[in-house]
Amino acid sequence: MHGVRYLYNANGKRTGVLIDLERNRGLWEDLFDVALARGRGSEPTVAWTAVRRRLERQGRLKPQHAAST
């Protein structure tokens, strides 16, 4: 892959990587997103309905009204 170089230790084992951010910014952003998600894996989840209600109360989301039948 162009713009990606591996670093090796004295035994020839890959120990790191250099990423050319000008060529591979999207790759770096994807790797960073995965690292963040894995780091948050043990955090408690919040139901979407609770998040939506909180955002509506804060005025950051338009209230959703039930469709009339």
Total count of domains within the chain: 1
* pLDDT score of 54 more than 60: yes
Note the pLDDT tens digit of each residue in 17-46. 999 999 999 999 999 999 999 999 999 999
The answer to the question of residue 66 being in a domain is no
The answer to the question of residue 64 being in a domain is no
The answer to the question of residue 38 being in a domain is yes
For residue 18, what are the contacts with CB-CB under 8 A and spacing of at least 6?
A: 4, 5, 6, 7
The range of the structural domain enclosing residue 19 comes to 4-57
The answer to the question of residue 26 being in a domain is yes
The answer to the question of residue 41 being in a domain is yes
DSSP output for 11-22: TS-EEEEEE-HH
The answer to whether 7 and 15 have CB atoms below 8 angstroms apart is yes
The residues that bridge with 43 in the sheet, in sequence order, are none
The answer to the question of residue 27 being in a domain is yes
Note the pLDDT tens digit of each residue in 4-19. 999 999 999 999 999 9
The answer to the question of residue 25 being in a domain is yes
What's the whole-model pTM score?
Answer: 0.53
pLDDT band at 1 (very low <50, low <70, confident <90, very high): confident
Predicted pLDDT at 65: 75
